[in-house]
Structure 1
Amino acid sequence: MSKRLGKGLEALISSYQTDDESYVDGLVPISMIEPNAEQPRQSFETENMNALIESIKINGVLQPISIRKIKKNKYQIIAGERRFRAAKFLNLKTIPAYILSVNDKSHLMELALIENLQRVELNAIEEAEAFAVLHSKHNLSHKEIGEKLGKSRSYISNSIRLLRLPDPIKNDLIKNNDSFTPGHARALLGILKNKKIKNKSIAILDAWNTVVSSNLSVRKTEQYIGTFSDSKNKILVDKKQKSEFLLIENEIKNILNTKVQIKSKIKGGQIIISFESKNQLKKLLRQIKNK
């Protein structure tokens, strides 16, 4: 995902009137600050957070967060929740902050979204959900969102379309795996537009499984989706049970956070759980015991 934007965060901040003795690196008590419920970033990867915590432990918070006053002695984060979380983890009492006068929710979301895009990339689903909020809740067209964020209208539209995917596929995108990217996902969306395929939910899950298990490139995935036809769909309908097993397989995989394979037979079958080390095996055993 490109980080080159039409407006930088600093440019946007400087366009807003500021509160409380204006645009300065003031130290604000962390106890007075709360997160924004509409923060575009929903997941905070442990590896990235640990690196940030170590950096702040050594150097302090070098870049102020941006907040707005919501009532007396209470502020809400506009941008910088990762820095806020890291500072809170380190039990810092104060954090440098820009206090901005931002009351329009679409502008608030815009600042938060750009901050995340510039610093640490949102995953494809978080980005799509943020675009969808700007469109549905704040009445911005796809073109307007693109202009504000330095993206094309088609980029915004294609991103939002990813939200139409079944949950197992969206969960795979959230993991940011190189083997299954937004490019693969957009190719799969072609199934939803194919009028010859009646059981689209079965077809798209089956196609996703094939793409992942065969490690297809985006180009190969596009070619594969292009082969779907009415006769292909009849085969897919017969594979309904296989797709049901696939959903269960994916659910177990998400719970245990490891590769899982279900092999079904006429009667019964096998569940194969993969592990990479003795420590991971012990962790899996603890997880299973606790369920």
Structure 2
Amino acid sequence: MAKTTGLGQGVSALFGDSPDDERFFECDIELIVPNKHQPRFVFDEAGLEELADSIIEKGIIQPLIVSKVSANRYTLIAGERRLRASKIAGLKTVPVVVQNIGDEDAFLELALIENIQRTDLNPLEEAEAYKKLIDRFGYTQEQTAQKVGKKRSTITNSLRLLLLPDYIRDDVVSGFLSEGHARSLLRIVDNPAALKEIRDQIVAKHLSVRQVESLIRKYKKPKQTENVAAQQDIVEQEISDSYCKALATQITNKLNSRVVINRNGNRGKIEIEYYSLDDLERLVSVLTSDS
């Protein structure tokens, strides 16, 4: 049963009073190639079915954005959920807007920014997209924030999620853990045993974020209340692994950056990770502050 494709107000916003602009047309759905730079790597099947039902009922409200790669082939820049749902709905054509892209780097940048702004990415997909922008184009966190229209603190906090081990990140993607749980667990990211223990309790007991934070505080308290004499004795002898991890965790929480202590007998070095030149400047400011 054929349906008239719905275009809503998106066309007028894009083309003013000229919706027949040659960049906008109904494209054969088989001529559109999925975007290899798509930041989303998880697509909810139930959500796609619901979107397909909506498309059958009301049509596609917002056109897909594509780039022309040959006479009869287009690469998707933004709108993969709509493309997938349109195939489920049985559509033969979809409305598209053609963007002229100069080179591969320009395409990657536009694809990432379009999808970050338009798509409901999960927290890890969003963090990976920011990291690609920073790594590929050398953007600072401030520049990345300007590109995607978000606060710099949002970018910094998002990137920190990438410090979590793979199994925790998988839990966030699959929905076993919320973004709030993940942010709480960052406080003990350098203590793998504690991280695994608390993660298992979250899943088994369905703990809230507040309960997790309370649990982490109780877990950290014995380490924080060790008496000064005992700490001095440890320093005079060979520093233990567990004590180094506790110190590293304290510094990590203070600097909001991953810290590793590498020891060699009673000597060693402290390594502090930073994620961009912007982040390095932040760390220098914290470390040199009088407060």
Alignment match of 1:187 (pick from 169, 184, 188): 184
Which stretch has the larger CA shift, 208-217 or 88-97? 208-217
Partner of 1:75: helix, strand, or coil? Answer: strand
Calculate the TM-score normalised by the size of structure 2.
0.63
Higher alpha-carbon Rg: 2
Corresponding residue number in structure 2 for 1:127:
126
Gaps of 5+ in 1: 1-9, 194-199, 238-291
Q: Which amino acid aligns with 1:42?
A: F
Calculate the TM-score normalised by the size of structure 1.
0.63
Alignment match of 1:210 (pick from 182, 192, 201): 201
Which stretch has the larger CA shift, 143-152 or 223-232? 223-232
Corresponding residue number in structure 1 for 2:245:
none
Which stretch has the larger CA shift, 31-40 or 142-151? 142-151
Q: Is the 8 A contact 2:164 2:189 kept in 1?
A: no
Partner of 1:129: helix, strand, or coil? Answer: helix
Q: How far has the Cα of 1:110 moved from its partner?
A: 0.5
Question: What is the rounded CA distance, in whole Å, between the counterparts of 1:161 and 1:129 in structure 2?
Answer: 11
Question: What is the rounded CA distance, in whole Å, between the counterparts of 2:154 and 2:138 in structure 1?
Answer: 18
Q: Percent identity?
A: 34
Question: What is the rounded CA distance, in whole Å, between the counterparts of 1:34 and 1:176 in structure 2?
Answer: 29
Cα-to-partner distance string for 1:226-248 (whole Å, 9 max, x where unaligned): 33349679xxx9xxxxxxxxxxx
Q: How far has the Cα of 1:138 moved from its partner?
A: 2.7
Partner of 1:27: helix, strand, or coil? Answer: strand
Q: Is the 8 A contact 2:31 2:73 kept in 1?
A: yes
1:108 aligns with 2:111: yes
Q: Is the 8 A contact 1:123 1:176 kept in 2?
A: no
Corresponding residue number in structure 1 for 2:63:
64
Cα-to-partner distance string for 1:43-84 (whole Å, 9 max, x where unaligned): 111111111111122222232111011222111111111111
1:1-291 residue pairs with structure 2 within 5 A? 22-24=22-24, 26-103=25-102, 104=106, 105-116=108-119, 121-177=120-176, 180-192=177-189, 200-229=191-220
Q: How far has the Cα of 1:21 moved from its partner?
A: 5.1
Q: How far has the Cα of 1:27 moved from its partner?
A: 0.7
Question: What is the rounded CA distance, in whole Å, between the counterparts of 2:137 and 2:75 in structure 1?
Answer: 19
Q: Is the 8 A contact 2:38 2:111 kept in 1?
A: no
Q: Is the 8 A contact 2:51 2:82 kept in 1?
A: yes
Question: What is the rounded CA distance, in whole Å, between the counterparts of 1:102 and 1:114 in structure 2?
Answer: 18
Question: What is the rounded CA distance, in whole Å, between the counterparts of 1:232 and 1:138 in structure 2?
Answer: 42
Query: Relative to 1, partners in 2 of residues 1:54 and 1:191: Cα closer, same or farther, differing over 3 Å?
Result: same
Q: How far has the Cα of 1:154 moved from its partner?
A: 1.8
**Pairwise CA RMSD:** 2.8
Q: How far has the Cα of 1:99 moved from its partner?
A: 0.6
Question: What is the rounded CA distance, in whole Å, between the counterparts of 1:96 and 1:187 in structure 2?
Answer: 43
Q: Which amino acid aligns with 1:114?
A: Q
